[in-house]
Amino acid sequence: MDKQSSLRAMAIIPARYASSRFPGKPLAKIGGVEMIVRVCRQVAKTGVEVLVATDSEAIKNCVEQAGYRAVMTSEHHRTGTDRVREAYDKSGAEVDVIINVQGDEPFIDPSQIEALIACFEDSATDIATLSRRFDPARGFEALFDPNLVKLVTGLDGRALYFSRSIIPYVRNTDWQQWLKTTDFKMHVGVYAYRPSVLRAISELPQSELEKAESLEQLRWLENGYRIKVAETSTPTIGIDTPADLEEAEKYLKEIEKTAEVSKER
């Protein structure tokens, strides 16, 4: 973490065992190391306290054997945010910022955690998240993918809206030219909150926009919470399926190869 920051921060990593597409995902190994342990290692590089929130004794034991702290949470949470809130309440910690790092982001960069924390130097920030510019080389079909959440921000860097649809809509321009004329932003699903805000949003009922798009951050916007968006250029690889795990293995090998070349120089 940035040594100049006076903000006390804690990272909580929700890691649920059950998954419709990839059961036991947090314990899947990448380069011989469990995914959840890799996430802990990356976050710990910032110097913030790390806590894993899980509903699985197997995940808890794995995390503790790796030297990190874990806490058991309910199996019935609607979202990772709700799980993070329970874990924070059980932790006994008192911090200024709570970071919610997904348990399937083994390559999250420490600079991304630091960027989230920095958002809270602005006293008006309730919640913070990350975005990354969409690479036009990926093509329109990738941009159209509803699993890729898009967002738009105001001039002050606050989120105006998140959508599975393409936003903004570029009027009076053929869609085949959109990628040449407009910068699109992709949402990177890492969040940070002030503790009081985390408790408040976990009590809110689901909103109509949230139900429509299946995006919980829309509930927060609808209720007037200010979400500051920090931009990152660092790629991340979220792992949702066994096929994603294969890609992660390839990515790890590329990273290790690059590191070896750097050492030789």
pLDDT of residue 228: 98
pLDDT of residue 79: 86
pLDDT of residue 247: 87
- Whole-model pTM over 0.85: yes
CA angle 204, 208, 209 (to 5 degrees): 100
Q: Which CATH number fits domain 9-131+186-244: 3.50.50.60, 3.90.550.10, 1.10.240.10, 3.40.50.720?
A: 3.90.550.10
User: Hey, what are 131's tokens?
Assistant: 């975005």
Bridge partners (DSSP) of residue 230 are 130
pLDDT of residue 2: 45
Encode pLDDT of 64-95 as tens digits. 999 999 999 998 888 889 999 999 999 999 99
Contact, 100 vs 15, CB < 8 A? no
Provide the angle, in degrees to the nearest 10, between the axes of the packed helices 110-118 and 35-44: 60
pLDDT of residue 260: 73
Give per-10-residue mean pLDDT for the chain (265 aa). 73 88 89 95 96 96 97 90 95 96 92 97 97 96 94 97 97 94 95 97 95 97 98 86 86 81 68
- By 3-state DSSP, what share of the chain in percent is helix, strand and coil, each rounded to 5? 40, 20, 40
pLDDT of residue 120: 98
Measure the CA–CA gap between 124 and 121, rounded to whole angstroms: 9
